[in-house]
Amino acid sequence: MMELNFSPFPELHTKRLLLREVSKLDAQALMQIRQSDAVMEFIDRPRMKNLEEAYAFIENIISSVEKNESIFWVIAEEENPDLMIGSIGFWRIEKQHYRAEIGYLLHHDHWQKGFMKEAAAAVITWLFDNTQAHSIEANLDAHNTGSVKLLESLGFEREGYFRENYFYKGQFTDSALYSLIRKGS
């Protein structure tokens, strides 16, 4: 069984980014990201309606991280560390299978600058170096080109393609499963 301990919180630094713990001060930025039609196009979650929902979301995250059930990093630029521009984390962690699912979102003003690749590479390295995780999976709408390209550029391989298995926004859509296996084991 994989053992996890997210305390103290593993803050990470990349060339341009700070990956830090979430706080209530991130509520406004989080809400704006999760209200964006561009960001949420392929994500089957309701748009965040108000700050109360953002606070509740943050409380859930903090509690889940405290219980070592999932981990969630706020993405900020090093030069502007207080402003959340995205998030990345591992959730639906299957400790008995040493496997975690990755999830990520970035404010659309920052797309295609290599930010998520930089953030994802850092958290994947952290996970494999600091836990016994053996594999990481990603589930996505097969039409989510940005996410597909990101995963492929990180070395994930497509292991499943499910035709019209997901009913979303009134129509059946294809979904895909990608995974990355720890190297050298």
Ligand X SMILES: CC(C)(COP(=O)(O)OP(=O)(O)OC[C@H]1O[C@@H](n2cnc3c(N)ncnc32)[C@H](O)[C@@H]1OP(=O)(O)O)[C@@H](O)C(=O)NCCC(=O)NCCS
Provide, rounded to whole angstroms, the least separation between the CB of residue 102 and ligand X: 9
Alpha-carbon distance of 87 to 74, in angstroms, equals 5
Residue 132 or 139: the one with the smaller Cβ distance to ligand X is: 139
Retrieve residue 162's tokens: 């499910």
Nearest to 135 by CA among 119, 156, 118, 120: 156
Tokens of 57: 């979301």
Note whether 47 binds ligand X by CB under 6 A: no
Q: Across-strand partners of 102? A: 90
The least distance separating ligand X from the CB of residue 69, rounded to whole angstroms, comes to: 20
Residues numbered 63-102 forming contacts with ligand X, rule: CB under 6 A: none
> Does the footprint of ligand X cover residue 113 (CB under 6 A)?
yes
Show the site string, 121-150: x = touches ligand X by CB under 6 A, - = not: -------------------x---xxxx-xx
> What is the helix (H) or strand (E) element at residue 12, kind and residue range?
strand 12-13
Q: Do the beta carbons of residue 185 and residue 154 sit within 8 Å?
A: no
User: Cβ of residue 8: shortest distance to ligand X, in angstroms?
Assistant: 27
Cβ neighbours for 149, distance < 8 A, ≥ 6 positions apart: none
* 116 is an interface residue for ligand X by CB under 6 A: yes
**Nearer Cβ to ligand X (114/160):** 114
Per CB under 6 A, does 111 bind ligand X? yes
Compare residues 111 and 167 and give the one whose CB is closer to ligand X: 111
Go through 82-111 and write b for each residue having 16 or more CB atoms within 10 A of its CB, e for each that does not: eebbbbbbbeebebeebbbbbbbbbbeeee
Asked if 165 interacts with ligand X (CB under 6 A), we say no
Contact footprint for ligand X (CB under 6 A) = 39, 42-43, 104-106, 111-117, 140, 144-147, 149-150, 153
